[in-house]
Amino acid sequence: MKYVVLIYSNPRTWETLPAAERERVLGLHDKILGEMRERGELLRVDGLTDPTTTRTIRTRDGMPVVTDGPFGEAKEQLAGLWAIDVDSLERAIELASPITEYDVVEIRGLMDLSGYEM
Amino acid sequence: MVREAALEGLLREHAPQVLGALIRRFGTFETAEDAVQEALLAATIQWPVEGVPDNPRGWLLTVASRRLTDQLRSEVARHRRETASAALLPAEALVVPAPAEPGDEAVDPDDTLVLLFMCCHPALSPASQLALTLRAVGGLTTEQIARAFLVPEATMYQRISRAKQGIRAAGARFELPPAGERAERLQVVLQVLYLIFNEGYTATSGDALHRPDLTTEAIRLARDLHGRLPDEPEVGGLLALMLLTDARRPARTLPDGSLVPLDQQDRGRWNQAMIAEGTALVDAALERGPAGPYQVQAAIAAVHDEAPRAEDTDWPQVLALYELLEALAPNPMVTVNRAVALAEVRGPEAGLALLETLDGDPRLADNHRVPAVRAHLLERAGRKPAAIEVYRLAARMTSSVPERRYLMARADRLASTTH
Protein backbone atom coordinates (compact mmCIF):
# COMPACT_ATOMS: atom_id res chain seq x y z
CA MET A 1 0.00 0.00 0.00
CA LYS A 2 1.27 3.40 -0.91
CA TYR A 3 1.23 6.22 1.65
CA VAL A 4 2.60 9.70 2.03
CA VAL A 5 4.09 10.62 5.38
CA LEU A 6 3.69 14.38 5.83
CA ILE A 7 6.14 15.83 8.32
CA TYR A 8 5.03 19.03 10.07
CA SER A 9 7.65 21.02 11.86
CA ASN A 10 7.95 24.22 13.85
CA PRO A 11 10.98 26.09 12.47
CA ARG A 12 11.44 27.88 15.85
CA THR A 13 11.83 24.55 17.65
CA TRP A 14 14.56 23.52 15.26
CA GLU A 15 16.42 26.84 15.52
CA THR A 16 16.61 26.57 19.28
CA LEU A 17 17.75 22.94 19.42
CA PRO A 18 21.40 22.38 20.42
CA ALA A 19 23.50 21.41 17.39
CA ALA A 20 24.30 17.96 18.77
CA GLU A 21 20.62 17.21 19.33
CA ARG A 22 19.77 18.40 15.82
CA GLU A 23 22.46 16.12 14.42
CA ARG A 24 21.13 13.19 16.43
CA VAL A 25 17.59 13.66 15.11
CA LEU A 26 18.78 14.14 11.52
CA GLY A 27 20.89 10.99 11.92
CA LEU A 28 17.76 9.16 13.00
CA HIS A 29 15.96 10.35 9.85
CA ASP A 30 18.86 9.12 7.71
CA LYS A 31 18.84 5.78 9.45
CA ILE A 32 15.13 5.25 8.79
CA LEU A 33 15.46 6.42 5.18
CA GLY A 34 18.39 4.03 4.70
CA GLU A 35 16.36 1.14 6.08
CA MET A 36 13.41 1.96 3.81
CA ARG A 37 15.70 2.24 0.77
CA GLU A 38 17.36 -1.05 1.55
CA ARG A 39 14.00 -2.80 1.92
CA GLY A 40 12.56 -1.32 -1.27
CA GLU A 41 9.89 0.65 0.61
CA LEU A 42 10.89 4.21 -0.25
CA LEU A 43 9.40 5.76 -3.37
CA ARG A 44 10.69 9.29 -2.83
CA VAL A 45 11.66 11.74 -0.14
CA ASP A 46 11.59 15.54 -0.27
CA GLY A 47 12.28 18.40 2.05
CA LEU A 48 10.46 21.70 1.62
CA THR A 49 11.99 25.17 1.74
CA ASP A 50 11.21 27.39 4.74
CA PRO A 51 7.51 28.21 5.22
CA THR A 52 8.28 31.94 4.89
CA THR A 53 9.05 31.32 1.21
CA THR A 54 5.50 30.03 0.61
CA ARG A 55 3.29 31.73 -1.98
CA THR A 56 -0.41 31.28 -1.41
CA ILE A 57 -2.77 31.64 -4.35
CA ARG A 58 -6.51 32.22 -4.02
CA THR A 59 -9.15 33.26 -6.50
CA ARG A 60 -10.79 36.52 -5.46
CA ASP A 61 -13.52 38.09 -7.60
CA GLY A 62 -12.67 35.62 -10.35
CA MET A 63 -8.97 36.54 -10.35
CA PRO A 64 -6.09 34.57 -8.85
CA VAL A 65 -4.41 36.58 -6.08
CA VAL A 66 -0.91 35.67 -4.88
CA THR A 67 0.18 36.47 -1.32
CA ASP A 68 3.44 35.79 0.52
CA GLY A 69 3.48 33.28 3.34
CA PRO A 70 1.40 30.21 4.22
CA PHE A 71 -2.39 30.49 4.41
CA GLY A 72 -2.59 28.89 7.86
CA GLU A 73 -1.50 30.44 11.13
CA ALA A 74 -0.34 27.14 12.66
CA LYS A 75 3.14 27.04 14.19
CA GLU A 76 3.70 23.62 12.65
CA GLN A 77 4.22 23.84 8.89
CA LEU A 78 4.72 21.14 6.27
CA ALA A 79 8.48 20.61 6.17
CA GLY A 80 8.92 17.49 4.12
CA LEU A 81 7.36 14.30 2.89
CA TRP A 82 8.06 10.68 2.19
CA ALA A 83 6.20 8.57 -0.32
CA ILE A 84 6.40 4.92 0.74
CA ASP A 85 5.07 1.56 -0.40
CA VAL A 86 4.73 -0.77 2.58
CA ASP A 87 2.87 -3.96 3.51
CA SER A 88 0.52 -2.29 5.99
CA LEU A 89 -0.53 0.88 7.75
CA GLU A 90 1.04 -0.57 10.90
CA ARG A 91 4.41 -0.65 9.13
CA ALA A 92 3.98 2.99 8.03
CA ILE A 93 3.23 4.00 11.64
CA GLU A 94 6.24 2.04 12.89
CA LEU A 95 8.52 3.84 10.40
CA ALA A 96 7.21 7.32 11.13
CA SER A 97 6.89 7.10 14.90
CA PRO A 98 10.58 7.65 15.80
CA ILE A 99 10.72 11.04 14.03
CA THR A 100 7.93 12.59 16.10
CA GLU A 101 10.08 13.78 19.02
CA TYR A 102 9.95 17.36 17.71
CA ASP A 103 7.73 17.07 14.64
CA VAL A 104 4.16 15.99 13.99
CA VAL A 105 3.54 13.41 11.29
CA GLU A 106 0.42 12.68 9.26
CA ILE A 107 0.06 9.47 7.27
CA ARG A 108 -2.33 9.49 4.33
CA GLY A 109 -3.10 6.79 1.80
CA LEU A 110 -2.52 7.55 -1.87
CA MET A 111 -5.46 7.27 -4.24
CA ASP A 112 -4.87 5.05 -7.22
CA LEU A 113 -6.58 4.08 -10.45
CA SER A 114 -7.31 0.50 -9.55
CA GLY A 115 -10.75 -0.80 -8.74
CA TYR A 116 -13.11 -3.77 -8.88
CA GLU A 117 -16.33 -3.69 -10.83
CA MET A 118 -18.80 -3.23 -8.01
CA MET B 1 13.36 -9.23 -38.09
CA VAL B 2 11.97 -10.72 -34.91
CA ARG B 3 8.66 -9.44 -33.66
CA GLU B 4 9.03 -7.93 -30.21
CA ALA B 5 6.18 -9.88 -28.64
CA ALA B 6 7.45 -13.18 -30.06
CA LEU B 7 10.92 -12.43 -28.73
CA GLU B 8 9.52 -11.62 -25.28
CA GLY B 9 7.57 -14.86 -25.26
CA LEU B 10 10.63 -16.86 -26.24
CA LEU B 11 12.78 -15.27 -23.53
CA ARG B 12 10.14 -15.71 -20.85
CA GLU B 13 9.69 -19.35 -21.71
CA HIS B 14 13.41 -20.09 -21.44
CA ALA B 15 14.28 -17.84 -18.49
CA PRO B 16 13.32 -20.18 -15.61
CA GLN B 17 14.81 -23.22 -17.36
CA VAL B 18 18.14 -21.50 -17.95
CA LEU B 19 18.14 -20.28 -14.37
CA GLY B 20 17.42 -23.79 -13.09
CA ALA B 21 20.25 -25.28 -15.15
CA LEU B 22 22.64 -22.61 -13.93
CA ILE B 23 21.75 -23.15 -10.27
CA ARG B 24 22.26 -26.89 -10.73
CA ARG B 25 25.69 -26.23 -12.21
CA PHE B 26 26.91 -23.49 -9.86
CA GLY B 27 24.70 -23.84 -6.83
CA THR B 28 24.06 -20.20 -6.03
CA PHE B 29 20.60 -18.79 -6.61
CA GLU B 30 21.48 -15.13 -6.05
CA THR B 31 24.37 -14.83 -8.50
CA ALA B 32 22.78 -17.20 -11.02
CA GLU B 33 19.66 -15.07 -11.08
CA ASP B 34 21.68 -11.92 -11.79
CA ALA B 35 23.57 -13.70 -14.56
CA VAL B 36 20.35 -14.88 -16.23
CA GLN B 37 18.95 -11.37 -16.04
CA GLU B 38 22.06 -10.07 -17.81
CA ALA B 39 21.80 -12.77 -20.47
CA LEU B 40 18.15 -11.87 -21.07
CA LEU B 41 19.07 -8.21 -21.46
CA ALA B 42 21.87 -9.15 -23.88
CA ALA B 43 19.40 -11.20 -25.90
CA THR B 44 16.90 -8.34 -26.16
CA ILE B 45 19.69 -6.23 -27.65
CA GLN B 46 21.36 -8.77 -29.92
CA TRP B 47 18.60 -11.02 -31.21
CA PRO B 48 16.54 -8.36 -32.98
CA VAL B 49 19.70 -7.35 -34.88
CA GLU B 50 21.47 -10.68 -35.40
CA GLY B 51 18.43 -12.92 -35.49
CA VAL B 52 17.35 -15.57 -33.00
CA PRO B 53 20.03 -18.23 -32.55
CA ASP B 54 19.22 -21.78 -33.63
CA ASN B 55 19.30 -22.88 -30.03
CA PRO B 56 18.03 -19.92 -27.98
CA ARG B 57 18.18 -21.75 -24.67
CA GLY B 58 21.76 -22.89 -25.29
CA TRP B 59 22.73 -19.33 -26.23
CA LEU B 60 21.19 -17.93 -23.03
CA LEU B 61 22.82 -20.65 -20.93
CA THR B 62 26.25 -19.97 -22.44
CA VAL B 63 26.05 -16.21 -22.00
CA ALA B 64 24.68 -16.50 -18.45
CA SER B 65 27.39 -19.06 -17.56
CA ARG B 66 30.11 -16.71 -18.83
CA ARG B 67 28.74 -13.83 -16.76
CA LEU B 68 28.56 -16.04 -13.71
CA THR B 69 32.06 -17.42 -14.24
CA ASP B 70 33.46 -13.91 -14.64
CA GLN B 71 31.79 -12.91 -11.43
CA LEU B 72 32.99 -15.94 -9.50
CA ARG B 73 36.53 -15.39 -10.84
CA SER B 74 36.60 -11.81 -9.68
CA GLU B 75 35.31 -12.87 -6.30
CA VAL B 76 38.03 -15.50 -6.00
CA ALA B 77 40.65 -12.97 -7.08
CA ARG B 78 39.43 -10.54 -4.49
CA HIS B 79 39.35 -13.19 -1.83
CA ARG B 80 42.85 -14.31 -2.82
CA ARG B 81 44.10 -10.74 -2.46
CA GLU B 82 42.44 -10.46 0.90
CA THR B 83 43.35 -13.81 2.38
CA ALA B 84 46.12 -15.13 0.16
CA SER B 85 44.31 -18.41 -0.02
CA ALA B 86 43.17 -20.11 -3.17
CA ALA B 87 41.17 -23.16 -4.05
CA LEU B 88 37.98 -21.77 -2.68
CA LEU B 89 35.87 -22.86 -5.55
CA PRO B 90 35.84 -26.06 -7.50
CA ALA B 91 38.13 -25.61 -10.49
CA GLU B 92 35.30 -26.33 -12.92
CA ALA B 93 33.51 -23.20 -11.75
CA LEU B 94 36.36 -21.13 -13.15
CA VAL B 95 36.35 -22.65 -16.60
CA VAL B 96 34.31 -20.84 -19.20
CA PRO B 97 31.91 -23.44 -20.49
CA ALA B 98 32.01 -24.32 -24.14
CA PRO B 99 29.16 -22.94 -26.21
CA ALA B 100 26.22 -25.22 -25.73
CA GLU B 101 25.17 -27.46 -28.60
CA PRO B 102 21.51 -28.12 -29.21
CA GLY B 103 20.34 -30.73 -26.73
CA ASP B 104 23.54 -30.32 -24.76
CA GLU B 105 22.15 -28.38 -21.85
CA ALA B 106 20.71 -30.46 -19.07
CA VAL B 107 17.31 -28.90 -18.61
CA ASP B 108 15.09 -30.36 -15.98
CA PRO B 109 11.49 -29.47 -16.84
CA ASP B 110 10.65 -29.35 -13.15
CA ASP B 111 13.14 -26.54 -12.54
CA THR B 112 10.39 -24.01 -13.16
CA LEU B 113 8.35 -25.61 -10.41
CA VAL B 114 11.28 -25.64 -7.99
CA LEU B 115 11.96 -21.98 -8.75
CA LEU B 116 8.33 -21.08 -8.19
CA PHE B 117 8.36 -22.69 -4.75
CA MET B 118 11.66 -20.96 -3.98
CA CYS B 119 10.45 -17.49 -4.99
CA CYS B 120 7.26 -17.98 -2.96
CA HIS B 121 9.23 -18.91 0.13
CA PRO B 122 7.16 -18.23 3.26
CA ALA B 123 10.07 -16.32 4.86
CA LEU B 124 9.61 -13.51 2.30
CA SER B 125 7.06 -10.71 2.47
CA PRO B 126 4.27 -10.88 -0.13
CA ALA B 127 5.74 -7.87 -1.97
CA SER B 128 9.09 -9.69 -2.23
CA GLN B 129 7.47 -12.95 -3.34
CA LEU B 130 5.60 -11.17 -6.13
CA ALA B 131 8.61 -9.28 -7.41
CA LEU B 132 10.97 -12.24 -7.32
CA THR B 133 8.47 -14.61 -8.97
CA LEU B 134 7.95 -12.18 -11.83
CA ARG B 135 11.69 -11.82 -12.34
CA ALA B 136 13.06 -15.33 -11.79
CA VAL B 137 10.10 -17.37 -13.07
CA GLY B 138 8.36 -14.86 -15.31
CA GLY B 139 11.55 -13.55 -16.90
CA LEU B 140 10.50 -9.90 -16.58
CA THR B 141 13.17 -7.25 -16.10
CA THR B 142 13.38 -5.18 -12.92
CA GLU B 143 12.37 -2.15 -14.98
CA GLN B 144 9.24 -3.88 -16.27
CA ILE B 145 8.24 -5.06 -12.80
CA ALA B 146 8.81 -1.57 -11.37
CA ARG B 147 6.54 -0.11 -14.06
CA ALA B 148 3.87 -2.71 -13.38
CA PHE B 149 3.77 -1.79 -9.68
CA LEU B 150 4.20 1.95 -10.34
CA VAL B 151 7.31 2.28 -8.18
CA PRO B 152 10.78 3.65 -9.06
CA GLU B 153 13.17 1.10 -10.54
CA ALA B 154 15.65 1.62 -7.66
CA THR B 155 12.90 0.69 -5.19
CA MET B 156 12.05 -2.49 -7.09
CA TYR B 157 15.73 -3.35 -7.49
CA GLN B 158 16.15 -3.21 -3.71
CA ARG B 159 13.01 -5.26 -3.16
CA ILE B 160 14.30 -8.02 -5.43
CA SER B 161 17.78 -7.92 -4.00
CA ARG B 162 16.34 -8.13 -0.49
CA ALA B 163 14.13 -11.04 -1.52
CA LYS B 164 17.19 -12.92 -2.74
CA GLN B 165 18.99 -12.24 0.53
CA GLY B 166 15.90 -13.53 2.32
CA ILE B 167 16.07 -16.79 0.39
CA ARG B 168 19.72 -17.22 1.31
CA ALA B 169 19.04 -16.37 4.95
CA ALA B 170 16.20 -18.90 5.05
CA GLY B 171 18.66 -21.55 3.82
CA ALA B 172 16.34 -22.49 0.97
CA ARG B 173 17.69 -25.30 -1.19
CA PHE B 174 17.12 -25.76 -4.90
CA GLU B 175 14.71 -28.62 -4.59
CA LEU B 176 11.00 -29.21 -4.18
CA PRO B 177 9.70 -28.72 -0.63
CA PRO B 178 9.50 -31.98 1.35
CA ALA B 179 6.25 -33.90 0.85
CA GLY B 180 4.98 -32.90 4.30
CA GLU B 181 5.23 -29.18 3.46
CA ARG B 182 4.13 -29.39 -0.18
CA ALA B 183 0.44 -28.62 0.34
CA GLU B 184 1.12 -25.64 2.59
CA ARG B 185 3.82 -24.25 0.30
CA LEU B 186 1.58 -24.69 -2.73
CA GLN B 187 -1.00 -22.49 -1.00
CA VAL B 188 1.57 -19.68 -0.85
CA VAL B 189 2.44 -20.14 -4.54
CA LEU B 190 -1.24 -19.94 -5.49
CA GLN B 191 -1.69 -16.87 -3.31
CA VAL B 192 1.25 -15.13 -5.02
CA LEU B 193 -0.07 -15.94 -8.50
CA TYR B 194 -3.52 -14.66 -7.51
CA LEU B 195 -2.02 -11.43 -6.12
CA ILE B 196 -0.14 -10.88 -9.39
CA PHE B 197 -3.39 -11.45 -11.26
CA ASN B 198 -5.34 -8.99 -9.10
CA GLU B 199 -2.63 -6.37 -9.35
CA GLY B 200 -3.14 -6.48 -13.11
CA TYR B 201 -6.89 -6.95 -13.15
CA THR B 202 -7.78 -4.04 -10.89
CA ALA B 203 -5.60 -1.57 -12.80
CA THR B 204 -8.07 0.39 -14.88
CA SER B 205 -5.60 2.62 -16.61
CA GLY B 206 -1.97 3.40 -17.00
CA ASP B 207 0.12 3.33 -20.10
CA ALA B 208 -1.08 0.06 -21.61
CA LEU B 209 1.86 -0.02 -24.00
CA HIS B 210 4.45 0.31 -21.29
CA ARG B 211 2.81 -1.36 -18.33
CA PRO B 212 3.40 -5.07 -18.63
CA ASP B 213 0.20 -7.02 -18.49
CA LEU B 214 0.33 -8.78 -15.12
CA THR B 215 -3.03 -10.45 -15.72
CA THR B 216 -1.77 -12.28 -18.79
CA GLU B 217 1.49 -13.12 -17.03
CA ALA B 218 -0.36 -14.56 -14.00
CA ILE B 219 -2.52 -16.69 -16.30
CA ARG B 220 0.57 -17.89 -18.17
CA LEU B 221 2.27 -18.91 -14.91
CA ALA B 222 -0.90 -20.56 -13.56
CA ARG B 223 -1.37 -22.46 -16.84
CA ASP B 224 2.24 -23.64 -16.69
CA LEU B 225 1.77 -24.73 -13.06
CA HIS B 226 -1.44 -26.55 -13.94
CA GLY B 227 0.44 -28.40 -16.69
CA ARG B 228 3.04 -29.53 -14.15
CA LEU B 229 0.59 -30.38 -11.34
CA PRO B 230 -2.52 -31.56 -13.21
CA ASP B 231 -3.72 -33.55 -10.19
CA GLU B 232 -3.90 -30.56 -7.84
CA PRO B 233 -7.54 -29.43 -8.05
CA GLU B 234 -6.83 -26.02 -6.49
CA VAL B 235 -4.31 -25.20 -9.23
CA GLY B 236 -7.00 -25.92 -11.82
CA GLY B 237 -9.42 -23.92 -9.66
CA LEU B 238 -7.15 -20.88 -9.58
CA LEU B 239 -6.51 -21.01 -13.34
CA ALA B 240 -10.26 -21.28 -13.92
CA LEU B 241 -10.94 -18.36 -11.57
CA MET B 242 -8.43 -16.19 -13.43
CA LEU B 243 -9.84 -17.10 -16.86
CA LEU B 244 -13.48 -16.63 -15.81
CA THR B 245 -12.66 -13.25 -14.26
CA ASP B 246 -10.42 -11.98 -17.03
CA ALA B 247 -13.02 -13.01 -19.62
CA ARG B 248 -15.06 -10.00 -18.46
CA ARG B 249 -12.21 -7.53 -18.87
CA PRO B 250 -13.29 -6.09 -22.26
CA ALA B 251 -16.61 -5.04 -20.67
CA ARG B 252 -15.53 -3.95 -17.18
CA THR B 253 -14.20 -0.49 -18.02
CA LEU B 254 -15.26 2.28 -20.37
CA PRO B 255 -12.69 4.01 -22.58
CA ASP B 256 -12.39 6.80 -19.95
CA GLY B 257 -11.29 4.26 -17.33
CA SER B 258 -14.54 4.25 -15.35
CA LEU B 259 -15.77 0.94 -13.95
CA VAL B 260 -18.89 -0.83 -15.19
CA PRO B 261 -20.73 -2.88 -12.53
CA LEU B 262 -21.22 -6.55 -13.34
CA ASP B 263 -24.98 -6.22 -13.85
CA GLN B 264 -24.53 -3.42 -16.41
CA GLN B 265 -21.72 -4.92 -18.48
CA ASP B 266 -22.20 -5.61 -22.19
CA ARG B 267 -22.04 -9.40 -21.95
CA GLY B 268 -21.58 -9.68 -25.70
CA ARG B 269 -18.06 -8.40 -25.16
CA TRP B 270 -17.11 -11.14 -22.71
CA ASN B 271 -14.50 -13.54 -24.00
CA GLN B 272 -16.43 -16.75 -24.67
CA ALA B 273 -13.33 -18.85 -25.35
CA MET B 274 -11.95 -18.02 -21.90
CA ILE B 275 -15.33 -18.72 -20.30
CA ALA B 276 -15.51 -22.12 -22.00
CA GLU B 277 -11.98 -23.03 -20.93
CA GLY B 278 -12.52 -21.80 -17.36
CA THR B 279 -15.84 -23.59 -17.01
CA ALA B 280 -14.37 -26.88 -18.26
CA LEU B 281 -11.47 -26.51 -15.80
CA VAL B 282 -13.68 -25.84 -12.81
CA ASP B 283 -15.99 -28.73 -13.69
CA ALA B 284 -12.99 -31.06 -13.97
CA ALA B 285 -11.50 -29.82 -10.70
CA LEU B 286 -14.78 -30.16 -8.81
CA GLU B 287 -15.18 -33.74 -10.03
CA ARG B 288 -11.89 -34.65 -8.40
CA GLY B 289 -13.21 -34.41 -4.90
CA PRO B 290 -13.56 -31.99 -2.01
CA ALA B 291 -13.68 -28.46 -3.33
CA GLY B 292 -11.14 -25.85 -2.21
CA PRO B 293 -11.68 -22.09 -1.99
CA TYR B 294 -10.30 -21.29 -5.48
CA GLN B 295 -12.58 -23.87 -7.10
CA VAL B 296 -15.61 -22.47 -5.29
CA GLN B 297 -14.73 -18.91 -6.29
CA ALA B 298 -14.25 -20.12 -9.87
CA ALA B 299 -17.63 -21.84 -9.72
CA ILE B 300 -19.23 -18.56 -8.59
CA ALA B 301 -17.54 -16.70 -11.46
CA ALA B 302 -18.78 -19.41 -13.85
CA VAL B 303 -22.40 -18.97 -12.70
CA HIS B 304 -22.15 -15.23 -13.45
CA ASP B 305 -20.42 -15.79 -16.78
CA GLU B 306 -23.00 -18.34 -17.94
CA ALA B 307 -25.94 -15.94 -17.52
CA PRO B 308 -26.77 -14.34 -20.90
CA ARG B 309 -28.32 -11.35 -19.07
CA ALA B 310 -27.79 -10.10 -15.49
CA GLU B 311 -31.40 -10.99 -14.63
CA ASP B 312 -30.78 -14.59 -15.74
CA THR B 313 -28.17 -15.10 -12.99
CA ASP B 314 -28.84 -18.20 -10.92
CA TRP B 315 -28.66 -16.38 -7.56
CA PRO B 316 -29.76 -19.33 -5.38
CA GLN B 317 -26.76 -21.19 -6.82
CA VAL B 318 -24.44 -18.22 -6.13
CA LEU B 319 -25.79 -18.01 -2.57
CA ALA B 320 -25.23 -21.73 -1.96
CA LEU B 321 -21.65 -21.43 -3.26
CA TYR B 322 -20.92 -18.45 -0.99
CA GLU B 323 -22.26 -20.44 1.96
CA LEU B 324 -19.88 -23.24 1.02
CA LEU B 325 -16.99 -20.79 0.60
CA GLU B 326 -17.69 -19.25 3.99
CA ALA B 327 -17.58 -22.68 5.59
CA LEU B 328 -14.30 -23.54 3.82
CA ALA B 329 -12.51 -20.23 4.31
CA PRO B 330 -14.30 -17.95 6.76
CA ASN B 331 -13.54 -14.34 5.96
CA PRO B 332 -15.62 -11.18 6.49
CA MET B 333 -15.29 -10.22 2.79
CA VAL B 334 -16.95 -13.51 1.85
CA THR B 335 -19.79 -12.64 4.21
CA VAL B 336 -20.17 -9.28 2.44
CA ASN B 337 -20.48 -11.08 -0.90
CA ARG B 338 -22.91 -13.58 0.58
CA ALA B 339 -25.05 -10.62 1.70
CA VAL B 340 -25.23 -9.48 -1.95
CA ALA B 341 -26.40 -12.93 -3.06
CA LEU B 342 -28.82 -13.22 -0.14
CA ALA B 343 -30.37 -9.87 -1.08
CA GLU B 344 -30.94 -11.17 -4.63
CA VAL B 345 -32.66 -14.30 -3.36
CA ARG B 346 -34.57 -13.04 -0.32
CA GLY B 347 -34.68 -9.28 -0.77
CA PRO B 348 -32.53 -6.30 0.24
CA GLU B 349 -33.63 -6.28 3.91
CA ALA B 350 -32.26 -9.82 4.37
CA GLY B 351 -28.93 -8.71 2.90
CA LEU B 352 -28.85 -5.64 5.12
CA ALA B 353 -29.55 -7.76 8.21
CA LEU B 354 -26.61 -10.03 7.36
CA LEU B 355 -24.34 -7.01 6.83
CA GLU B 356 -25.27 -5.76 10.28
CA THR B 357 -23.69 -8.84 11.82
CA LEU B 358 -20.36 -7.51 10.55
CA ASP B 359 -20.67 -4.15 12.32
CA GLY B 360 -17.73 -3.57 14.62
CA ASP B 361 -15.53 -6.20 12.95
CA PRO B 362 -12.09 -4.53 13.16
CA ARG B 363 -10.96 -6.31 9.97
CA LEU B 364 -13.50 -4.25 8.02
CA ALA B 365 -13.13 -0.94 9.86
CA ASP B 366 -11.40 0.85 6.96
CA ASN B 367 -12.96 -1.17 4.16
CA HIS B 368 -15.20 0.74 1.77
CA ARG B 369 -16.80 -2.43 0.36
CA VAL B 370 -19.18 -2.77 3.31
CA PRO B 371 -20.72 0.73 3.00
CA ALA B 372 -20.71 0.40 -0.81
CA VAL B 373 -22.76 -2.81 -0.63
CA ARG B 374 -24.94 -1.43 2.16
CA ALA B 375 -25.70 1.67 0.08
CA HIS B 376 -26.72 -0.49 -2.90
CA LEU B 377 -29.06 -2.53 -0.72
CA LEU B 378 -30.52 0.59 0.93
CA GLU B 379 -31.19 2.01 -2.52
CA ARG B 380 -32.92 -1.19 -3.60
CA ALA B 381 -34.95 -1.17 -0.38
CA GLY B 382 -36.16 2.33 -1.32
CA ARG B 383 -34.41 4.00 1.63
CA LYS B 384 -33.04 6.87 -0.42
CA PRO B 385 -31.72 9.37 2.16
CA ALA B 386 -29.86 6.62 4.00
CA ALA B 387 -28.51 5.25 0.70
CA ILE B 388 -27.19 8.68 -0.34
CA GLU B 389 -25.44 9.12 3.00
CA VAL B 390 -23.83 5.66 2.90
CA TYR B 391 -22.76 6.00 -0.77
CA ARG B 392 -20.93 9.20 0.20
CA LEU B 393 -19.35 7.48 3.20
CA ALA B 394 -18.10 4.67 0.94
CA ALA B 395 -16.77 7.23 -1.56
CA ARG B 396 -14.76 8.92 1.19
CA MET B 397 -13.31 5.60 2.34
CA THR B 398 -12.07 4.15 -0.93
CA SER B 399 -8.55 4.81 -2.20
CA SER B 400 -9.59 4.01 -5.77
CA VAL B 401 -10.29 7.00 -8.00
CA PRO B 402 -12.66 5.12 -10.38
CA GLU B 403 -14.60 3.63 -7.46
CA ARG B 404 -14.94 7.01 -5.78
CA ARG B 405 -16.22 8.51 -9.01
CA TYR B 406 -18.73 5.68 -9.38
CA LEU B 407 -19.98 5.91 -5.78
CA MET B 408 -20.33 9.70 -5.96
CA ALA B 409 -22.30 9.34 -9.21
CA ARG B 410 -24.71 6.89 -7.56
CA ALA B 411 -25.23 9.30 -4.65
CA ASP B 412 -25.73 12.26 -6.99
CA ARG B 413 -28.23 10.39 -9.14
CA LEU B 414 -30.29 9.42 -6.10
CA ALA B 415 -30.09 12.94 -4.67
CA SER B 416 -31.39 14.43 -7.93
CA THR B 417 -34.44 12.13 -7.88
CA THR B 418 -35.42 12.54 -4.23
CA HIS B 419 -36.78 16.05 -4.61
Report pLDDT digits (tens) over B117-134. Answer: 999 999 999 999 999 999
ipTM of the complex: 0.88
Residue B64 has pLDDT above 90, yes or no: yes
Phi, psi of A66 (to 5 degrees): -105, 130
A contact residues 68-107, partner B, Cβ 8 Å cutoff:
85, 87, 89
- What pLDDT is attached to residue B110? 80
pLDDT, average across residues B250-255: 88
Phi, psi of B99 (to 5 degrees): -55, 135
* Closest chain A C-alpha to B402 CA, distance in angstroms: 6
pLDDT band at B86 (very low <50, low <70, confident <90, very high): very low
Residue B6 has a CB neighbour count (10 Å cut-off) of 10
Which tens digits make up the pLDDT trace of B189-213?
A: 999 999 999 988 888 765 555 566 8
Is the CB of residue A45 less than 8 Å away from at least one CB of chain B?
no
* Closest chain B C-alpha to A1 CA, distance in angstroms: 10
Residue A103 has pLDDT above 90, yes or no: yes
B219 close to B323: Cβ distance less than 8 angstroms:
no
Is the CB of residue A39 less than 8 Å away from at least one CB of chain B?
yes
Average pLDDT over chain B reads: 89
**Cβ contact B261–A117 (<8 Å):** yes
A54 Cβ contact list (under 8 Å, min separation 6): A68, A69, A70, A77
**Cβ contact A112–B248 (<8 Å):** no
**Cβ contact A117–B158 (<8 Å):** no
Which tens digits make up the pLDDT trace of B363-412?
A: 898 889 999 999 999 999 999 999 999 999 999 999 999 899 999 999 99
Which tens digits make up the pLDDT trace of B240-250?
A: 999 999 999 99
CA-nearest of B385, B397, B390 to B373 is: B390
- What pLDDT is attached to residue B104? 47
A111 neighbourhood in chain B, CB within 8 Å: 399-401, 404
Instruction: Provide, rounded to the nearest whole percent, the portion of chain B with pLDDT above 90.
Output: 68
B404 neighbourhood in chain A, CB within 8 Å: 111
- What pLDDT is attached to residue A102? 94
pTM summary value? 0.88
A113 neighbourhood in chain B, CB within 8 Å: 203-206, 257, 400-402
Residue B38 has pLDDT above 70, yes or no: yes
Q: How far is CA A74 from its chain centroid? A: 15
B366 neighbourhood in chain A, CB within 8 Å: 89
Beta carbon pairs, A and B, within 8 Å: 84
B297 neighbourhood in chain A, CB within 8 Å: none
